[in-house]
Chain A
Amino acid sequence: KAGVTQTPRYLIKTRGQQVTLSCSPISGHRSVSWYQQTPGQGLQFLFEYFSETQRNKGNFPGRFSGRQFSNSRSEMNVSTLELGDSALYLCASSAGQGDSPLHFGNGTRLTVT
């Protein structure tokens, strides 16, 4: 079974721009979650989508948004980029019920200059 795939692996953007990151979950997984990893804050939950609906949301500003398509693929968008948005963005998928664990992709490394 193919794992979680995230594209692109690396991105360099300028402050004020916007960016879209993509995630393809494990086949059959209907839940996709996004996390931000920074050296100072560690791994922090952004949001979770299940069957195209946002089910949970973390404590991030409205500049961070996402969506999920009918094939469970997900995109995350960050608008008006700030230097502090530089981070590793991780996508994770799960079956979405009960205690099914998250399985992570290798992430997209975003650098904002």
Chain B
Amino acid sequence: DQQVKQNSPSLSVQEGRISILNCDYTNSMFDYFLWYKKYPAEGPTFLISISSIKDKNEDGRFTVFLNKSAKHLSLHIVPSQPGDSAVYFCAAGAGSARQLTFGSGTQLTVLP
């Protein structure tokens, strides 16, 4: 039973445009959500997080939106850059950010 789902295995976006990566979850106990970026042969790199008491969090070009009623979160990257090309994972935690359940990842390709 996949509790965190990323239904799009891949996404291609033109440089300078917006990238929107989506994530759905089923466990109502999740109250903390994170996005990680992963390059080949490296570990995941933390990007941005959001607590369930918020519906939006921004950090530079990255914004995460949380819709609790729909159990859906999204990561917006504006403007997208070729260096953003990587696999993006969403993750969820219940009560802490330490025991995380990860989605299967979305490969983002930003075309120059």
A interface, CB within 8 angstroms of B: 4, 6, 31, 33, 35, 42-45, 48, 55-56, 58, 90, 92, 94, 96, 98-107
In the assembled complex, the CB of B25 is this many whole angstroms from the nearest CB of chain A, namely: 14
Q: Are B97 and A100 in contact, CB atoms less than 8 angstroms apart? A: yes
Main secondary structure of the interface of A (DSSP, over half): strand
B20 at the A interface (CB under 8 A) = no
Q: Which residues of A contact B34 (CB under 8 A)?
A: 101-102
Which size class do B's interface residues fall under? Answer: 20 to 34
Given the known interface contacts A99-B96, A101-B34, the answer about A106 and B102 at a Cβ–Cβ threshold of 8 Å is no
Name B residues whose Cβ lies closer than 8 Å to a Cβ of A: 32, 34, 36, 41-46, 49, 51, 89, 91, 96-105
Inter-chain CA distance A33–B96, complex, in Å, is 13
Docked pose: A99 CA to B43 CA in angstroms: 20
Residue contact B43 to A106, C-beta cutoff 8 Å: yes
Specify which chain B residues have a CB less than 8 angstroms from the CB of A96 in the assembled complex. Answer: 98
Other than the known A94-B98, A100-B97, what 14 A-B pairs have Cβ atoms closer than 8 Å? A4-B43, A43-B102, A45-B100, A48-B99, A56-B98, A99-B51, A99-B97, A101-B49, A101-B97, A102-B98, A104-B36, A104-B43, A104-B45, A106-B41
A106 touches B98 (CB 8 A): no
Q: How far is the CA of A106 from the CA of B42 in the complex (A)?
A: 5
Please judge, given known A-B contacts A42-B105, A104-B43, A104-B45, whether A98 and B96 are in contact too, CB under 8 Å.
yes
Bound: A88/B46 CA distance, A: 18
Collect the chain B residues with CB atoms within 8 Å of residue A33's CB: 98-99
**B97 in complex: contacting residue of A44, A90, A94, CB < 8 Å:** A94
Q: Are A104 and B99 in contact (CB under 8 A)?
A: no
